[in-house]
Chains A and B, each alone.
Chain A
Amino acid sequence: MTIQSLMNKWNLFIDTFLNKGGYKEVVTGLINTLIIALVALVIGIIIGTIIAAIEVQPKKGKIMMVLNKICTVYVAFFRGTPIVVQLLLGYFVILPLLGWNFSSVVVAIMIMGLNSGAYVSEIMRSGILSVDIGQMEAGRAMGLNYGTTMRKIIIPQAVKNILPTLGNELISLVKETSVVSFIGVVDLYKAFRTIGSGNYEYMMPFLVMAVIYIVIILLITFGLRMMERGLRASDKR
């Protein structure tokens, strides 16, 4: 391939991107990708924390036993099936069955969030188990119940311990959003695909897409480093 033909491809891409409104598509895709990943992480952390708190409870009553079983099935399902299958099930099976009318972005956020919850629960569980057992005992000995001690004493310490791992979860969520186009969401991948499909010229669009993904991941990694450094500094206060 000659330099000349590469230049041509590039000019074609720039033309579609700037003059034919391709950038709008990319901005939408970028926003969707980031929103889906971030909101899904928040949902994942909430669900994962609840599951972990149920799972690590040593003496379970009847209700807790049932909840624990549900959690086990939940985690097994979301970890054991491809995320594409989960998206398709959610959008084309569950949604119509329930008669709900959500946009595909909302469905993507929900499914990615539910999926992430299964992974975060494992991360959170190891975080909780890394907190000294004496912290729970001290809370319980003062009359605080299990849930309150978890919430106010154990989980804050657990989260601090697992922050780097949670950062990795955000990164893998960003990467995994590239499958949401299966249910028609315009994400980064879909945006660049659309640009390319205008003239069947995919080389430059996908190259630029890859660069954007890398930049996002690098930015997140950098942000997490700064956060960790901040936390470590506050430890030395």
Chain B
Amino acid sequence: MISVRNVYKNFGELKVLKGVSSEIQKGEKVAIIGPSGSGKSTLLRCMNLLEEPTYGEIWLDDKLLTPADPYLHPEVIAASKTYQSMYQKKGNSNTTELDEEIIREIKEKDLLQKHEGKEYKERLKQIEKDCRVDVNLARQRVGMVFQHFNLFNNLTVMENLTIAPVTLKLQSVEEATEKAGELLKRIGLYEKKDEYPSKLSGGQKQRIAIVRSLVMNPEAILFDEPTSALDPEMVGEVLELIRELAEEGMTMVIVTHEMGFAREVATRVLFMDGGEIKEENTPEEFFGNPQHPRLKEFLSKVL
């Protein structure tokens, strides 16, 4: 349901993601682990466009969230002046088939220029016209939980939960309040509904942040180290809530340092290192039989 296609992300000179691709299927629980600075958060934040990929595309089902990337569409490349001049130079007689070799060469050497002719531009535009959606609409479908909770400090717990669905006119005030009330009861924090976040413990804040994303009825939730900022005694209650959601079938992507949790809850584990996915596997294989030397080294340090 979330598709990351050949994503690169540069912060100025710093290359943080170097060609990451991954398909997150509905119902999957994908854990992302890896050393600090390897680009885990950046990858996760690209999935809902809190970071805009420098190259590559992000898809949510059949909706494109980023600008179309010509390198991912052979038919667009084929319409480029570069392709056509290479094609002629090669003296190709077959005029209908795409020349895979040229396409590969263009991709590898990054040969596309800024201006590649009208036809090229139009094909690129057509893709965006057919598939691209407003990023705000896409974000309504994918929740996000942050390391530092990011509850809205100027709003009460109840207002934190209802502001998005009500403002976006997805639910009436009554509907949203009822739904939020149920969710708060579920996590045993209903009596805190009129408190401000500053009065809550870290564990309470994070559980409220999680149900805040649930009020929107998301199809998937992205977690960025949801327990890293918590005191040890509060980690359990938050992981327990995430585990429950996982069991209920929520699609989730979790960046985490909790190896035990990843092993237990994830259906697939990705290892990020140096801006690339170096290994991905089922948790059994991933932890039981790691292949990549960097992963072996990493696991030997953290386990």
Asked if residues A235 and B198 are in contact (CB atoms below 8 Å), the reply is: yes
* In the complex, B291 has a CB within 8 A of chain A: no
Cβ of A148: which chain B residues have Cβ within 8 Å of it? 167
Closest to A131 in B: B153
The one of B146, B152, B213 in contact with A153, judged by C-beta atoms closer than 8 angstroms, is B152
Q: Tell me whether A135 and B150 are in contact in the complex, defined as CB-CB below 8 angstroms, given that A144-B167, A144-B168, A152-B163 are known contacts.
A: yes
* In the complex, B140 has a CB within 8 A of chain A: yes
* In the complex, B42 has a CB within 8 A of chain A: no
Asked if residues B146 and A137 are in contact (CB atoms below 8 Å), the reply is: yes
Nearest chain A CB to B63's CB is how many angstroms away? Answer: 14
Asked if residues A237 and B196 are in contact (CB atoms below 8 Å), the reply is: yes
CB-CB contacts below 8 Å: B123-169 with A: 136-140, 143-144, 146, 148, 150-155, 163-164, 167-168
Asked if residues A143 and B216 are in contact (CB atoms below 8 Å), the reply is: yes
Asked if residues B153 and A145 are in contact (CB atoms below 8 Å), the reply is: no
Asked if residues B167 and A152 are in contact (CB atoms below 8 Å), the reply is: yes
Closest to B136 in A: A143
Asked if residues A160 and B154 are in contact (CB atoms below 8 Å), the reply is: yes
Per-position binary interface string of chain A over residues 148-163, scored 1 when its CB falls under 8 Å from any chain B CB and 0 otherwise: 1000110011001000
* In the complex, B48 has a CB within 8 A of chain A: yes
* In the complex, A142 has a CB within 8 A of chain B: yes
Interface size on B, residues (CB 8 A): 30
Q: Tell me whether A143 and B137 are in contact in the complex, defined as CB-CB below 8 angstroms, given that A152-B163, A157-B154 are known contacts.
A: yes
The one of A138, A144, A153, A237 in contact with B154, judged by C-beta atoms closer than 8 angstroms, is A153
The one of A134, A143, A235 in contact with B139, judged by C-beta atoms closer than 8 angstroms, is A143
Docked Cα-Cα span, A138 to B87, in Å, equals 49
Cβ of B199: which chain A residues have Cβ within 8 Å of it? 237
Closest to B137 in A: A143
Instruction: Choose among A59, A152, A156 the residue with the greatest number of B CB atoms under 10 Å from its CB.
Output: A152
Cβ of B195: which chain A residues have Cβ within 8 Å of it? 237
Docked Cα-Cα span, A134 to B143, in Å, equals 15
* In the complex, B98 has a CB within 8 A of chain A: no
Per-position binary interface string of chain A over residues 109-145, scored 1 when its CB falls under 8 Å from any chain B CB and 0 otherwise: 0000000000000000000000010110111111111
* In the complex, B50 has a CB within 8 A of chain A: yes
Cβ of B50: which chain A residues have Cβ within 8 Å of it? 137, 140-141
Docked Cα-Cα span, A157 to B216, in Å, equals 24
Per-position binary interface string of chain A over residues 166-185, scored 1 when its CB falls under 8 Å from any chain B CB and 0 otherwise: 00000000000000000000
Cβ of B164: which chain A residues have Cβ within 8 Å of it? 139, 142-144
Instruction: Choose among B148, B155, B164, B209 the residue with the greatest number of A CB atoms under 10 Å from its CB.
Output: B164
Per-position binary interface string of chain A over residues 23-36, scored 1 when its CB falls under 8 Å from any chain B CB and 0 otherwise: 00000000000000
Asked if residues A141 and B144 are in contact (CB atoms below 8 Å), the reply is: yes
Q: Tell me whether A135 and B153 are in contact in the complex, defined as CB-CB below 8 angstroms, given that A143-B164, A144-B168 are known contacts.
A: yes
Tally A-B pairs: CB < 8 A. 66
Closest to B50 in A: A137
Closest to A145 in B: B136
Cβ of A156: which chain B residues have Cβ within 8 Å of it? 154
The one of B52, B148, B196, B216 in contact with A142, judged by C-beta atoms closer than 8 angstroms, is B216
Closest to B160 in A: A138
Asked if residues B152 and A138 are in contact (CB atoms below 8 Å), the reply is: yes
Cβ of A140: which chain B residues have Cβ within 8 Å of it? 50, 139
Asked if residues A135 and B137 are in contact (CB atoms below 8 Å), the reply is: no
Cβ of B196: which chain A residues have Cβ within 8 Å of it? 235, 237
Asked if residues B153 and A157 are in contact (CB atoms below 8 Å), the reply is: yes
Cβ of A157: which chain B residues have Cβ within 8 Å of it? 153-154
Cβ of A153: which chain B residues have Cβ within 8 Å of it? 152, 154-155, 163
Instruction: Choose among A135, A138, A143, A237 the residue with the greatest number of B CB atoms under 10 Å from its CB.
Output: A143
Nearest chain B CB to A56's CB is how many angstroms away? Answer: 17
CB-CB contacts below 8 Å: B79-96 with A: none
CB-CB contacts below 8 Å: B197-256 with A: 198-199, 209, 212-213, 216
Docked Cα-Cα span, A16 to B219, in Å, equals 79
The one of A59, A134, A237 in contact with B150, judged by C-beta atoms closer than 8 angstroms, is A134
Cβ of A144: which chain B residues have Cβ within 8 Å of it? 136, 163-164, 167-168
Closest to A142 in B: B164
Docked Cα-Cα span, A26 to B212, in Å, equals 57
Closest to B48 in A: A141
Asked if residues B154 and A142 are in contact (CB atoms below 8 Å), the reply is: no
Cβ of B139: which chain A residues have Cβ within 8 Å of it? 140-143
Cβ of B154: which chain A residues have Cβ within 8 Å of it? 153, 156-157, 160
Docked Cα-Cα span, A31 to B55, in Å, equals 61
Nearest chain B CB to A180's CB is how many angstroms away? Answer: 36
Docked Cα-Cα span, A23 to B194, in Å, equals 52
Nearest chain A CB to B167's CB is how many angstroms away? Answer: 6
The one of B137, B140, B150, B198 in contact with A138, judged by C-beta atoms closer than 8 angstroms, is B150
Cβ of B144: which chain A residues have Cβ within 8 Å of it? 138, 141-142
Nearest chain B CB to A14's CB is how many angstroms away? Answer: 52
Nearest 4 pairs of A and B residues by beta carbon: A138-B150, A143-B140, A134-B150, A142-B164
